[in-house]
Structure 1
Amino acid sequence: MNRIDLRGSRRDPRGLLPRAQLDVAQAVEKIRPVVEAVRDHGYAAIREATERFDGVRLERLRVPAEAITAAEKTLDPDVRAALLVAIERARKVHADQRRTDVTTQVVPGGTVTERWVPVSRVGLYVPGGLAALASTVVMNVVPAQEAGVPSLVVASPPQPSNGGLPDPTILGACALLGITEVYGVGGAQAIAMLGYGSRGRDAADTPGDGFEHCAPVDVITGPGNIWVTAAKRLLQGTVGIDAEAGPTEIAILADDSASPVHVAADLISQAEHDPLAASVLVTDSPALADAVDAQLVVQVAATKHESRVRESLAGKQSGIVLVDDLEQGLAVVDDYAAEHLEIQTRGARELAMRVRNAGAIFVGAYSPVSLGDYAAGSNHVLPTAGCARHSSGLSVQSFLRGIHVIEYDEAALRASAPHVVALANAEDLPGHGQAVTARFSGDVS
């Protein structure tokens, strides 16, 4: 792995740290015609893009109910059991995120109530490229269900090996969660379909009665490749999105107490996602860095996706960062703002509670990122590319909107009138003040 030596440096590390470089703006322009075609022509454009990019000619969009039921029945028993554990634990964690309405008495006779209202319809994207991520069904669906979203739809790429349907394990996970509206569409065309619906502006291009169309959603969540990310950026404003997810990343802050075997295995676990995945070790121990390098030689040679892992670990987005001490290391990982941050040090929990910027933090030798990917109960849809400085992972809150309900009686408004009038006049908006005083004098002149 590349090495970056920050020992003795007082420079801002943000521009020195490894990071995958993706030009989302350029990708937006490449997929804009696809998204606009789906907006205008609906199913015809979705079918054309799916045949061009996925090699599947769609005869329908919606996955038949019997295919979802069959997929659940054919789940491997161990996989089924693991999915049920993941669902149970995720539901336990996300149920505690529910918000309750709060009414504040601001003045006698004047209240503001904050209501938490779920969006009406959500589109949940589940990748099916290099890896078909059935666990992402759980991570998307559970918080939306716990938020009370009444209409949930899943979109996932069609698989030529599965008769043009999404991956069967993904369908089985949908069945376990009670999701019946699933579409075998992937990539930018899937995001466009969720945002605009599948009917299109030109009804002549789109099947009519009897065809099971996808209605537009209010919010789109879920990770994907750069084309999915670009489409989400293009659709933002038409719909809400969770985040622009880039390639996955792990940062590990470790000292000489860490096991090089564990550290190397965890770096590999993220590298196997994608050649652009980022694996970063931050340590104050050159001896640990050397031992991890030695372990990588052994473990990479034995891993299933060796070529993909080697490309990721050797890429400029990955590397070992040497620091003077853990205090500098803590500053470095805060600047990096990793999607996944592991802390394998003495006093790991104390350090973890001082971290300000991370999508999720995994504390100690027995809390690897892969636990969070599947069965910790936490959510694995997390901000990447430094966005953890300002964004959170997917949660119940992602699907709720806060609505203020204001209720003042006559006496409370009368007492507030001078303040409203003073501020309205200061902003040269006298009509605002008159909208209050009219209620007492009847004079709007």
Structure 2
Amino acid sequence: MISRLFMALRFLAGFGIARGLLFFSPILLSNLLPLDRYGQFELAQSLASIGALVIGCGLVGTVPLIRLRDEIDGRWDTLLLLVAGLGGGCILLALGVGLTSGTLFSVPVLVPLGIGVLMLQGLWANTLKSDGQGTRAIFVEVGFWAVAVSGAGLTVLSKDRLSQGTIPLVLLVYAVVLLGVTLVQQVRCRTGSFGLLDLRRNIALGLPLMFTGILTVLITSSGRLVLGQTSGVEAVGLYAVLYRSTTLPLVGHQILIIGFFRQIFSWSDEVLRARAAVIVVGVSAMALGFWVLEPYLGWLLGKRFTQIFAAYRAEGLTLLVQTILWSAIALNDLVNSRLQIAGRVTRVTAPYLALGLGALTFWTWSRAQHMPISDTLHGFIMGHFILMVGFYTVQCWSAWWLGHRFVRLWLSTYVCTVGVGLLIFLGELYG
């Protein structure tokens, strides 16, 4: 009993440190960089997140399927070879673009470099989670942002003006290290020669997860992507500060997901239906906690958060409530991956998201032509919230239609979203 308690406390302590780094690194970066430069980096990271899924063919998401489910026909050594080849190619492309353009801190350099880093980093984070090493996995997941912050910190300490490409350089070093580790492990675990059939099997396993992953990234990154295309990098910077700060409640989501990652793929459907709603309820409780403690968080989140949240309070609180939907959508994706229905659900949700984001992009662009950034940002955040409610509804309906009914989880999400939103609205109105 004591040993289990000690292990639980050690996990929570390690997770707290790792997750704290993952959460605070973008916030710290927003305080180190000028707002427009921070917006530029956030835009590049969003594009790289999508690129890592498209170029990587969803291969990173197949790690738990290959390592934890014996009936899956996919080779581990083939997966390592594919990710190393694709990730290494992106790193070389970034280096070539940087050398020919003469500038490193630019979207054309940061995007392919970010793709390579995120692919390789995601591979080893999922491997550690599949092996039951959740805390170490979080430390790997924070790598991209922690390395970027260290580059910005070095630039500030050297009193540079952030024009020398310190951030891309340290990211390049990190990428090379990840690539080296992957190649070494691939050589060690290789079990035989490769054929086209091996490559096809691994890629076929990842493609459905690629489309699902793209939808997930679009959901969480669409704010930066749409605003970047319609309103400029300053609007992206404003949105990113609000978005990054209000995702603090997702710490509860991560704690439960990491702690039960193996069980989600090994529990029976009945057990999973009974327990999945706990994650959504936990995130909702943390959202309320953030709202209560927000006046006292300025010292923790930085001066830029204090200034922007005060100027855009309604927008920030809307994003805070939306974290419940983000958690529920991510949980649905994980469950669908475990049930191997991700591809079929995507066939329904993808058209909805494509049409919705297209309409929202056009509407935001039309507002941005004759309205100030504040009005454009307000309209976009409200429209995006409505879009996400619809997306979650379509996602749940698709799983229901396929015969997988997690009613308790779905109803808990709607009740918590409405309940938390109502409590915050009444508190702001009468507080």
Q: TM-score, normalised by structure 2?
A: 0.23
Give 1 or 2: higher helix fraction. 2
Flag the structure with larger Rg: 1
TM-score scaled by length of structure 1:
0.23
The structure richer in strand per residue is: 1
